[in-house]
Structures are given as C-alpha cells and as structure tokens.
Amino acid sequence: MTPNFRIAMVGAGAIGCYYGAKLAYYGRDVQFLMRGDLADVRRFGIRIRGKGENLRVAKVNYHGSTEEIGPCDLVLVALKATSNGDLLKLIPPLLHEKTMLLTLQNGFGNEEFLAQQFGANRVLGGLCFVCLNRVSRGVIESYGQGRLAIGEYTDGPQPRTHDLVWEFKRCGIVCTVVENLTLERWRKLVWNIPFNGLSITGGEIDTAAILADENLRALTLALMEEVIAAANKCGFPLPAETILEEMKRTESLGAYKPSTLIDYQAGRPLELEAIWGEPLRRAVRAGVAMPHLEKLHAELKALDLAQRDEITAATVNS
C-alpha cells in the first residue's frame, strides 16, 4: 500500500468506528462518512477502550456526504444490511477504475448486492469476529480484540487480498486471509443466529442471561446444530466442535448485549433477511429442515413488524 492509499469508511457504528479508528491511529488516510450529531466526535475524536484496547484518534476526517470524500482506493462498508439501498447513491462518488469494495456486514447477500450493482471484480467480504458496543457517538467498548477475516467474492485469494490483510495487521488488527468466503459466513452464523435472535425473543437479555437460562441454552445449542447441518449440506463443511468453541467464547464475554438487541432497543430495523431469512432459504433449498430457525425467524419478523407499526403510529400522532 502506498502512503496516499485512500480509505472511505461508509457506516460509522461500532464496527465502522472501530476498524476505521484503528487504521487512522496507525497513520492511514481514512475518510469517515458521518451523518447526524457529531458533537462528541468533533470534540473528543474516536476512542476505543476495553480488554487490551485503549487508543484515541483525536482528529477524525469526517464528511457529511461521499461526494465530499471523492474517489478512494478502498471502500469499507459497515452499514447495516437493512440500509443497502442507500449504497446505490453513496458508493458511486467513491469509485475509480480500481476501487475495492470490502463489506464488513453480517449474513448473506451483501457481496451479491455489491457485485450486481458495482461489478463483482471489485468485491471482497470481511467477517468481523469481534464483540463491540458503541457506548456514545465517539466511544467504542471492546469485549476482546477478536479477529477479522477477509476473502474474495468471486475467487480464491489474490495478491490484493494478502496486501489488504497485511495492511490491517500493520495497524494492530488480527487479520487472516480466507480461502472460502461463504464457508466463513456460515461459521459466523453459528453464533449470530442464536445469540442475536434469542437476545430479543428471550426478553431483551444479554448473552450471560441466555446461557444461564436452561431452556434458552438448549435452544441455542439446537440452533447451532441446525446451522452446522445446513452448512454441511450446502457444501461448506463445519465440524461439530465449532459449537463448543463458540459457547466457550461466549462464556468469556460476560453480560454482552449483541448488536441486534441494541438495534431493536433503539428502534432500528432488524437485519432479518441477511442473518436469519437467507440462511433459512438456502437450507430449505438444500433439503435441510430447520424448525428452530424457522420459528425464530417468524418471531423476530413479528416483533420487528410490530415495532415498525408502533414507530409509524407515534410519528403520525406527534
């Protein structure tokens, strides 16, 4: 990477601020798309704190539009999948002939969307195996450094894949190249599907409360087993030991609130299709029965719809 390698961070939530701040802290040219109240960021910058993490970027290059940013060499997409429609206007001003698009979003369908709209040759996927909460506009709480895995959408690793991973490593980020991006997406869903979902349907509770409840713990294991069975049937082998690894990791987090629970409590739409709907459809097409996931998806959909209706009614009546 050359010293003038420009990076645009589209999405300034916990994930976007965390990785963008780390890159900026180590001197990379990061331009943040930030809309809304920026008082804290203007005054204090971005701070990352938590287990083994304590850094602050005092001067943040933030912009209200991608037109202000202009063409970049790498675009990091950290918006929620529910906002993918916004990318149709946000991405074009950031592109030049060789711009790479690296999505850090959850679930299935995001690489496909970017490839369809902007060309498959540009697209890479990043899987963030990290637990973060944004406690204020400019403060990110880390529950463990975690790791980032990067892979190509259309093929196996290329020289640019290794270059990107090396650049992240140089900025203090544990990062690896993955041979098969879809396999790694299934692996992450082993955690995301049960814990993000049950944190809401279980009564808006954290991961420690899920593990402490005998019925919810059993349901977590059943959902994990279904995801692994679906991945294997779809041709992406995951060992059963993945369940034990994810349970041990979750126990070490303590009372962690998954990002989907935070979205729900803030009244934001849930990433229903990316995290639960599309994996369910792929499993059904492969001939795998997923009764627990089917029920969880239906429950989340009903809760999300009810919340949308409440918000609409409150807006009309205000």
Enzyme catalytic residues: 188
Output the six-digit token pair for 110: 């995001």
Q: Would you say residue 145 has pLDDT above 70?
A: no
Report pLDDT digits (tens) over 204-248: 999 999 999 999 999 999 999 999 999 999 999 999 999 999 999
Report the range out of 35-49, 129-143, 283-297, 300-314 with the highest average pLDDT: 283-297
Mean pLDDT of 180-199: 97
Question: Measured between alpha carbons, how far is 76 from 214 in angstroms, rounded to an integer?
Answer: 39
Concatenating the DSSP letter of every residue in 6-17 gives EEEEE--SHHHH
In the structure, what pLDDT confidence band is assigned to residue 102 with cuts at 50, 70 and 90?
very high
Q: Is 70 exceeded by the pLDDT of residue 3? A: no
Q: How does the average pLDDT of the chain come out, rounded?
A: 94
Assign 3-state DSSP to the chain and report helix, strand, coil percentages, each to 5.
Answer: 50, 15, 30
Domain range summary for the chain, segments of one domain joined by +? 6-179, 183-317
Three-class secondary structure of residue 202 per DSSP: coil
| Residue 2 pLDDT | 60
Pick 137 or 310 by higher pLDDT. 310
Query: CATH code for 6-179?
Result: 3.40.50.720
The pLDDT, as a whole number, for residue 292 is 98
Query: 316 pLDDT exceeds 90?
Result: no
3-class DSSP state of 27: coil
- CATH ID of 183-317, from 3.30.420.40, 3.40.50.300, 3.90.550.10, 1.10.1040.10: 1.10.1040.10
In DSSP terms, 54 is beta-bridged to 49
Distance CA 60, CA 41 (A): 7
pLDDT 10s digits, 43-78: 889 999 988 889 999 999 999 999 999 999 999 999
